[in-house]
Amino acid sequence: MSENKANEAVAKGIAKLDANKSDWRDVIDVKTLVMSSGDNCVLGQIFDTYDEGLDKLGISTYTGRELGFDEEYSDYTYQELKDAWTKVLTLKTGDLYKALYSSDRVKIVKTVRLDDKNYVIWQYTGGGTPSISKVSTFLASYRPVPKEKAGTILRGSTTGKLFMAAIEGGDNVWDLSKSYGSVGHITRAGAERDHGKLVVVQTHMGRDVVGGMHLSI
């Protein structure tokens, strides 16, 4: 499906932006996001114009398409690109996040836009007074609690390497290049550091691919 290709391209674009401008998520207003506009597309909102964004990132127009910044001559539409970017930029009320360096878990209370910047109001799951942080600051310390079922096949967005979710809602994945019984159990954070954001592999019908412990890839 072209929608799946748009999601994978956007995952690569996120990795590129994370490596070059850590606060980019604070800037984009999804309500005014227009992927066909040089001023209001993802790069336009971050760098003032699409062309300026390409220049600042040091990439060509061809690479820009590969990274989900443009749809011209690609396998997806502007609307599919907008939907993919909107999905990753939206922190939903009630969603759970886990601290990167502790066992703390927090939930999203709501997101707000103040002085043209994106903020998130969050609260520890055990209760207490809600806190507010810029989105980029929050995501530097917390990551979403995975929702995939155990056995769901995942692909690294930058390298294409395949993994499998080990436990539903867990933080570990199996490296499918390793044989069953070998050391293939690694953290999701480690996998994403080396292979890009993990995206769910789906069939052409849009269903998640779920394998087993003896799956051979």
Q: Exposure pattern of 155-192 as b/e (b: 16+ CB <10 Å)?
A: bbbbeebbbbbbeeeebbbbbbeeeeeeebebebeebb
Angle at 4 between CA 71 and CA 26, to 5 degrees: 65
Question: How large is the average pLDDT for residues 160-172?
Answer: 78
pTM: 0.72
User: pLDDT band at residue 128, thresholds of 50, 70 and 90?
Assistant: very high
For residue 27, pLDDT beyond 50:
yes
pLDDT of residue 2: 66
Question: How large is the average pLDDT for residues 174-178?
Answer: 81
User: pLDDT band at residue 160, thresholds of 50, 70 and 90?
Assistant: confident
Report the alpha-carbon distance of residue 117 to residue 114 in Å, rounded: 5
Report the alpha-carbon distance of residue 172 to residue 192 in Å, rounded: 11
pLDDT of residue 203: 60
Per the DSSP assignment, residues forming a β-bridge with 144 are: 97
**Is there a contact between 165 and 152 (Cβ–Cβ < 8 Å)?**
yes
For residue 165, pLDDT beyond 90:
no
User: pLDDT per residue over 13-24, tens digit each?
Assistant: 999 999 999 999
pLDDT of residue 58: 96
Three-state DSSP class for 77?
Answer: coil
For residue 209, pLDDT beyond 70:
no
For residue 197, pLDDT beyond 60:
yes
